[in-house]
Chains A and B, each alone.
Chain A
Amino acid sequence: MIREAKATRDYDRKRHRYDGWLHGVSLCAVMLGVFFLLVLFLIIVKVSLPGLTQSYFVLSVDFSEEWIERGDIASGRYRKVLKSGFSELLEGRGSEVRVRDFGKVLSSRSSHILREMVVSDPALVGRRVEVRLPLSDIWDQVNKGLLSWESLKVHRGVGESLQLLFLELKDDGLVEEHWNVGVLFRGDSRFPEVAGLYGAIVGSFYAMLVCFLVSFPLAIATVLYTEELVPRGRFRDIIDVNINNLASVPSVVFGLLGLAFFIGSLGFPRSSPFVGGLVLGLMSLPTMVIAAREAVRRVPVSLREAALSVGATRQQSVFHHVLPSAMPGILTGTIIALARALGEAAPLLLIGMNAFVSSDPGGVMDPATALPTQILIWSDSPERGFVARAGIAIVVLIGFLLLMNGLSIYVRSRWSSYDRYG
C-alpha cells in the first residue's frame, strides 16, 4: 500500500516536473523571440548612430569677381574659389601641406556646394564669406574616431604634417559636427557625405500612391461583388481560391510579372514608381481583399435587412450602409497592406527601381528609387559612410511603418462604432 502510494507520488512528481520543464522551455522560446527583436533594434541603432551627424569644415572663401561673373553666375570657376581658400588657410598657418592633399579632406562636391550657394544668393559675389563644407567620408570617419590614423597612413598615404594640421584645425574649432539633417532632404549621390534619402522617399510615396489607387478600388469591387451583390456561385469560389493562392505567391514573382508584362509587353518606362506601384498594388490586392472581406462580414445582417425593408435596392443598401459601416475595418486592412508594400524590395529590384538616380523624381513616370531599394544600394556600397546612412534609411523606413500602423490603430479606435454589432 505504502509502496503504491510512493510510486504514485513519484509518478506525479515526474508529471509535474515535465509540466515545469515545458513551461520553462516555452518561456525561453518566447524570450528568444523578444531577444531577437531587441538585438535587431540594437544593431540598427548602433549602425546608424555615426550617420546621425556629419562633420563640417569652416572655410573662409572669397567669391571674387575675378572668377565669378555677375552675369553668368552658374558657370563661375568655383574650383578656383575653393583652391584659393585652401591656399590662404595653409599659408596663414605656415603649413607645408600641399593644397591638393588638403583638398581631399573636404568633400569632392565642395565646389558644387559653393555654386549652389551663390546661385541661390547672387549677392554673395564679390564678398568674403565663411562657409561650412562637409568633410569627405574618410575624414568624417576619422573625425568621429571610427577610423584610426594608422590605417589612414597605411591605406591612404596621409602624411604626418596633414595629421598635425587637421588636429590643429580641430583644436581651433574649425571642424564642427552637426546633425545630419541633409540626409532627409537631399537626393542620392556617389559621395556619402552629400547623399540623401529625399529621392527615395518621394519615389516610395509615388509608388504607394499608385499602389493605393490600384488596389483599394479593386479590393472593394471584389469584396462587394463576391460578398454582397452576387454572393454565391462558381465565380465567387474561383475568386476565393485565387485570392488565397495569390496571397502566398512570393513577391519576387510579382516582380517578374511587372518586368514581363508591364515593362515588356505594355512598354511602361523601366525604373518608374508607376510600374512599381502597379506591381505592389497587385501584390497587396489579396491582403486587402481578405481584410475587407472580414470587415464586410462583420457588418450585421440586420443593417442590410433594415435598409432593404424600407425599400432600398440591394446596391443602395450596400453603398449607403454596409460599405460605410465596414469602412474602418477596410481602411485598417488597407493601411497595413500598404505598410507591407512599403517595405517590399524584391519586386522593385526586378523592375529596375534600384538604379542610381541622383535627380528627384518629378512624377510617377520618372526613374526613381524607393526606400527599401535605397537601403540595398547603400549597404552594397564600399564606402563606410554609406553603411551608416543605410542604417538611417532603415530607421526612416521603420518610422514610416510605425506611423502607418499607429494610423491604422487610430482609424480603428476612432471610427469603429459599428464593430459593436459584431
Chain B
Amino acid sequence: MGLVVWLSYYLGRLMRVGGTFRGGYYLGLLGVTFCVPVLVAVLLWRWDVSIFLLKFLGDGEVLLPGVNEDILEIWLYSKVIAGSGVGMLPGVDEVMLADLESRLLGLYGLVSVVGGVLLVVLGFCGVLGGMRRLYLGKEALVLSEGLVLKLLRCGSVVAIATSFLIVFSLVFESWKFFRYVSLGDFFLGLHWEPQLLFESEGEVEKEVFGILPVLWGTLAIAMIAMMIAIPIGLLSAIYLNGYAGVRVRSWVKPILELLAGIPTIVYGFVAVLVVAPFFHRWGEQLGFSSEPNNALAAGVVMGMMIVPFVSSFADDALNEVSLSVKYASYALGATRGETMMRVMLPAAFPGIASGVLLAASRAIGETMIVVMAAGLVAKFSWSPFDGLTTITVQIVALLVGDTSFDGPKTLSAFALGLTLFFLTLILNVLAFWIMKRYREPLV
C-alpha cells in the first residue's frame, strides 16, 4: 500500500505539465484511480467462491458417493475458506475427503494468487489511465476534484439504492411466495397457521396463509400502545410547554428522552418478566381466560416506549407556534389552560397529528417487545388478556433458525415484511403530507 502511495506520488510528479506542483492532488488522484477499481473488484468477489470451485473440481460427476452435495459444499466451505474447523462428516471415506480437501485448498490458493495479481494489475491500469489524462495536460486539481465529486455522488446514491434494494428484495421474494399462495388467499384469508404446514408433503395447503388475524393482532396491540402513549405523551408535552419553568423543563425533558434511548430488548425483557405475569394474574382474578403472554402486557410496555416519541413530537409542534400567539392569548386574560387548549393545541395540531402517526408507525413496526411478550398464535379476539400476535413476531418466528429459502413458509415472511413496509410507509407519507399541507405559519 505504501509502495502504491509513493509510486503514485512520484509518477504523478513525473507526468505533470506546467502549473504549480500540489503534491496532494497528484497523490489523491492516482491513489483514487488505483483504489477504486481494486475496491470494486473486491466487492464483486463472491465469498462462496468455493462452491464454484467445487463444481469445477467435480466437473459434473459425483464428488463423494453417499454424501449430499449441499452438505459437502457447506462443510468444505467452512473448513477450507472460512478456516474454522467444524465437526466430522459421518459416513465418509476420510482419505477421499482429505484428498478432495487438499485439491480444493490448492485450487483456492491458485485462485487467490491469480486474483491478487489481477487486482494489482487492475489498479495500475487505473493509475495509467489517470497518468494519461495528466500527460494530456489536465490539471491534477481539476481531475481529482472531478473524481471526488463522482465518488461523493456514488456515496449518496447508496441511500437511494438501499430503498430500492429493500423494495426489490421484498417484492422479489414475495413474488415467489405468491406463486404458491394467491393474493386473495393471503390478504383476505382468515387463518394464519403456517406451523401446520409440512413442506415435505408436497401438497401446499393454501388456507393457512391468511394475513387478516395477524393484522388484527398488530393493530390491536398498536392500539393499546397508542391508548397509553397519546394521553401521557400529549399531557407531558402540555406540561413541558405550558406549565414547566425553564429549570424543570431542562431536567424533565432529558429524563423523558432517556426512555426513548433504552433499547427495545430491555422493554421486552421487563415485559416478559414482570408485566406479562402481572396482567396474567390480574386477568385471571377478573375471570377472563388469560394467557401468560398477553396482548395487554406487550401493548402497555410498548406504550411506555412510545411516550417519549409522542411527547417530543408534540413538544416540538407546540414550540413551533409563534410566541406572539401565546402572549396575545395571555394578554386577553386567558388562563394558561385556556391558552393551551384553545390556542396552542389547535395551532400545533398538524404537527401533533403527524407525530402521532409516526409514533403509530413505530408501534406497528416494533419487534423485540412483541417477540418477547406477545403470543405466537394468530386469532381474532377482543380480550386483551389473550395472546395476540403481530406481523413482526411472525416474521421473526418464521425466519429464525430456518436456513432454507425456498419453502412457502419462509417466503411468507417476506410477504409479511412487504405488507409491514407498505403499512408503515403509508403512515409516514400521511404524516409528512399533513405536515406539508396544514402547517401554516402563524405570526
Q: Chain A interface (Cβ within 8 Å of chain B)?
A: 15-16, 18-23, 25-30, 32-34, 36-37, 40, 43-44, 47, 217-218, 220-222, 224-226, 229-230, 238-239, 242-246, 248-254, 256-257, 259-261, 264-270, 282, 285-286, 289, 313, 315, 339-340, 342-346, 349-350, 352, 354, 365-366, 372, 375-376, 379, 387, 390-391, 394, 397-398, 401, 405
Contact = CB atoms under 8 A, between A and B. Distances in A.
Interface of B: 46-48, 82, 84, 141, 145, 148-149, 151-156, 158-160, 162-163, 165-166, 169-170, 172-173, 231-236, 238-240, 242-244, 252, 255-256, 258-259, 261-270, 272-274, 304, 307-308, 311, 335-338, 340-341, 358, 361-362, 364-368, 371-372, 392, 395-396, 399-400, 403, 405, 413-414, 417, 420-421, 424-425, 428-429, 432
A226 B152 CA distance: 9
Contact of A22 (B265, B307, B337): B337
B82 A269 contact: yes
Contacts of A286: 159
A4 B225 CA distance: 48
B162 A33 contact: no
Given A43-B270, A253-B417, A256-B413, A218 B366 contact: no
A387 B261 contact: no
Contact of B266 (A36, A224, A350, A394): A394
B122 to A, nearest CB: 20
User: Helix, strand, loop or mixed for chain B's interface?
Assistant: helix
Contacts of B158: 218, 222, 282, 285
Contacts of B367: 250-252, 345-346, 349
Given A238-B160, A343-B265, A16 B335 contact: yes
Contacts of A366: 82, 84
B159 A343 contact: no
A257 B169 contact: yes
Contacts of A257: 162, 165-166, 169-170
17 contacts: A34-B256, A36-B259, A40-B304, A47-B273, A225-B149, A225-B155, A242-B159, A246-B163, A253-B421, A256-B169, A270-B403, A349-B400, A350-B395, A376-B368, A376-B371, A394-B269, A398-B262
Contacts of A265: 169
Contacts of B153: 225, 230
Given A21-B337, A23-B336, A345 B392 contact: no
Contact of A343 (B166, B263, B304): B263
B308 A33 contact: yes
Contacts of B165: 257, 261
B159 A285 contact: yes
A30 B414 contact: no
Contact of B235 (A29, A224, A340, A345): A29
A401 B367 CA distance: 20
Given A29-B236, A225-B152, A346-B368, A267 B261 contact: no
Contacts of A266: 46-47
A225 B150 CA distance: 9
Contacts of A269: 47, 82
A249 B265 contact: no
The 10 closest A-B pairs by CB, nearest first: A250-B365, A221-B155, A343-B263, A29-B235, A19-B337, A26-B239, A346-B367, A19-B335, A260-B169, A222-B156
Nearest to B239: A26
Contacts of B243: 23, 26-27
Determine which residue in B151, B238, B364, B366 has the highest number of CB atoms from chain A within 10 A of its CB, and name it: B238
A44 B266 contact: yes
Given A36-B304, A250-B392, A343-B265, A29 B232 contact: yes
A269 B74 CA distance: 11
Contact of B155 (A217, A254, A345, A376): A217
